[in-house]
Amino acid sequence: MLRPRLPREILHPVRLLPLAFLGLTFVGTLILLLPFARSGEGSASLPAAIFTSTSAVTVTGLANVDTSTYWTPAGQAAILALVEVGGIGIIALATLLGLFIGGRLGLRTSLVAQADMHVVSLGEVRPLFRRVIVTMVFFQLVIAAVLTIRYRVGYFDDLGTSVWHGVFDSVMSFNNAGFSLNEDSIVRYAGDFVVIVTVSLGVFVGAMGFPVLAELFQGWRRPSMWTIHTRLTVWGSVLLLVVAAVLFLVYEWNNAATIGSMSIHDKLVTGLEGSAMTRSGGLNSFHWGSVRPETLNIATILMFIGGGSASTAGGIKITTFLLLGYVILAELRGDPDVTVGRRSISPAVIRTALSIVLLALMLVFGSTFAVMSMTDFEFDVVLFECVSAFGTVGLSTGITPHLPVDAQMTISLLMFVGRVGTIAAASAFVLRRRTTRYHLPEEQPIIG
Strand partners, 344: 339
**Rounded-to-integer distance, Cα 442 and Cα 104, Å:** 30
User: What CA–CA distances, in Å, run from 223 to 34, 216, 231, 268?
Assistant: 51, 9, 8, 29
Which pLDDT score is estimated for 69?
Answer: 92
Which pLDDT score is estimated for 353?
Answer: 87
pTM as predicted: 0.87
Strand partners, 343: 340
Asked if residue 394 lies in contact with residue 61, where contact means CB atoms within 8 angstroms, the answer is yes
**Rounded-to-integer distance, Cα 108 and Cα 112, Å:** 6
Local mean pLDDT, 10-residue blocks, the chain (448 residues): 51 64 91 93 91 94 92 95 83 55 43 39 57 83 96 93 96 92 92 94 89 79 82 93 95 94 93 90 91 95 89 87 93 88 85 87 94 94 95 92 94 88 56 66 77
Return contacts of 9-18, CB within 8 angstroms, 24+ apart. 12/431, 13/96, 13/97, 13/100, 13/427, 13/431, 14/97, 14/424, 14/427, 14/428, 14/431, 15/424, 17/93, 17/97, 17/420, 17/423, 17/424, 17/427, 18/416, 18/420, 18/421, 18/424
Q: Closest Cα to residue 240, out of 345, 313, 341, 292?
A: 313
Helix axes 210-219, 125-154, angle to 10 degrees: 90
**Rounded-to-integer distance, Cα 229 and Cα 113, Å:** 12
Domain ranges of the chain: 9-431
Return the DSSP state at 38: B
Q: Are strands 343-345 and 338-340 parallel, antiparallel or unpaired?
A: antiparallel
User: What CA–CA distances, in Å, run from 252 to 248, 274, 293, 296?
Assistant: 6, 10, 10, 11
**Rounded-to-integer distance, Cα 425 and Cα 441, Å:** 29
Distance from chain centroid for Cα 425? 16
Which pLDDT score is estimated for 278?
Answer: 92
Which pLDDT score is estimated for 426?
Answer: 53
3-state secondary structure of 343: strand
Asked if residue 61 lies in contact with residue 55, where contact means CB atoms within 8 angstroms, the answer is yes
Which pLDDT score is estimated for 115?
Answer: 37
Upper half-sphere CA count for residue 7 (Cβ side, 13 Å) = 3
